[in-house]
Amino acid sequence: MNYGFLFSITFITTVLFTYFIKKALIKSNIVDNPIVSEHRHKTGTPTMGGIAFLFTILFVTSIYYKEPLITISALTMVVAGIVGLMDDLIGLKSKEVQKVIKNISEKTVKVGILNLEPNHEARIATSKAKKDLPELLDKNLVKVIDEVPIKNEMSEKDKIIVQLVIGIFLVVTASVFTLGGYNLGPIINFNGILVGILAIPVILIGITGAINAVNLIDGMDGLASGIIAIASFACVIYLFITGNLDKSLPFIVLIGVTLGFLVFNRYPASIFMGDTGSFILGAGYATAVLITDTPYFGILVLFVPIVTVIISLLHRVHIITLPIEPFHHVLNYHGISEKKIILSYWLITAIVSTIGILTTYYFFL
């Protein structure tokens, strides 16, 4: 197997497809309208760039159709991309318009569950915040500075259901029998399809978790694509030092796709991947980890997205209170530049990956 050629063809086709998809999206006026105040200047940037991933994956698979690792991961990514595309298309329609306010007083103001500091801005999203707003306006503590359309989207319940369906596609390929040294049996026979019973929940949780983690981290220019590129490259190195480089094909495809997209998606981005792209990358990465049996290292190098999900969950169950979520927007809200946040998140991923590789090499081989 010529690994360099696989990477090159994936990278080049992603660049080409992204270029043409970007032009088509601009011509069709399929553009983003960010709700985060700090990102309002990005209004008009084309989104749904993940469509280019679909073309690349199908093209690469047409060349490497005899490679099971590529075809299985491609199947999952294409299904995930279709689901993400549905969510993006639904999001083209706005469900409501929300006000953006600014604290013009010299003291911290309580708005809903948020403590809004002087000169800081916030979107009026919750029912409690909407109830509090008239009184705050009457007291001249805040002023409305903008209104932003909130896109329509699938309910959380519907999202989970369709993400589980993506996982089912991987389940029926019967390609995951062991994970991390453990057998996922007993084996059951579904009309000739042999499936390990324990593989079913593992796959469904893995696919759903990775999709949501990548989707949540996809909020700044090149953040998600950069993290997946670094994590995938680390997995290739891990497979190399453990003598399993032949299993690295799906990770090499992910590296080519993400680096190719970063040509246009790096800061300042000229195109966003949308849910189409984040669903593909999340499902593709989870599939690659599962079918190559690299769960411990694969989870470790996804440290940043996983921590981001945990912080958001703590906020949503009211254990902690954030002015905005996910956490990278909190950092931006407090004045850290987007470029510094992106580079910091990439660096943390690289450091964690390096620690994992060195620990594996010196202590487990």
Residues 201 and 143 reside in one and the same domain: no
pLDDT of 127 > 90? The answer is: no
Residue 153 CB contacts under 8 Å (≥ 6 apart), including other chains: 87, 90, 91, 95, 159
Residue 262: is its pLDDT beyond 70? yes
Average pLDDT of the residues of the chain = 93
283: helix, coil or strand?
A: helix
**Which pLDDT value is given to residue 365?**
85
Percent over 70 (pLDDT), the chain: 97
What pLDDT is recorded for position 150? 81
Instruction: Render pLDDT for 273-320 as a digit per residue (tens, 0 to 9).
Output: 999 999 999 999 999 999 999 999 999 999 999 999 999 999 989 899
pLDDT of residue 194: 73
Give the tens place of pLDDT for each residue, 137-162: 999 999 998 888 888 888 888 999 99
Determine whether 55 is exposed, middle or buried from the number of CB atoms within 10 Å of its CB (0-12, 13-18, 19+): middle
- pLDDT tens profile 18-27: 999 999 999 9
Residues 137 and 218 in one domain: no
> What is the identity of the amino acid at 283?
A
For residues 144 and 157, state if they share a domain: no
Which strand (E) or helix (H) includes residue 98? Answer: strand 94-103
Query: Are 184 and 213 contained in the same domain?
Result: yes
Structure tokens at 210: 């990775």
Task: Categorize the per-residue pLDDT at 32 as very low, low, confident or very high, splitting at 50, 70 and 90.
Answer: confident
Query: Both 109 and 164 in a single domain?
Result: no
Same domain, 139 and 205: no
Identify whether residues 176 and 275 lie together within a single domain.
Answer: yes
| Whether residues 58 and 195 fall in one domain | yes
Residue 250, domain extent: 3-93+153-363
- Which tens digit of pLDDT belongs to each residue from 320-338? 988 888 999 999 988 899 9
Domain shared by 159 and 224, yes or no: yes
Within 10 Å of residue 186's Cβ, how many Cβ atoms? 8
Q: Is the pLDDT of residue 191 over 80?
A: no
Cβ atoms of 287 and 170 within 8 Å: the answer is yes
Same domain, 63 and 124: no
User: Are 108 and 203 found together in one domain?
Assistant: no
Q: How many domains, the chain?
A: 2
pLDDT tens sequence across 39-83? 667 788 999 999 999 999 999 999 999 999 999 999 999 999 999
User: Is pLDDT at 125 greater than 90 in this prediction?
Assistant: no
Tell me what pLDDT residue 38 has.
Answer: 59
Residues 206 and 226 in one domain: yes
Q: Which residue is it, tokens 């949780």?
A: 205
Final residue of a structural domain among 131, 149, 167? 149
CB 121 within 8 A of CB 145: yes
Q: What predicted TM-score, i.e. pTM, was given to this entire model?
A: 0.92
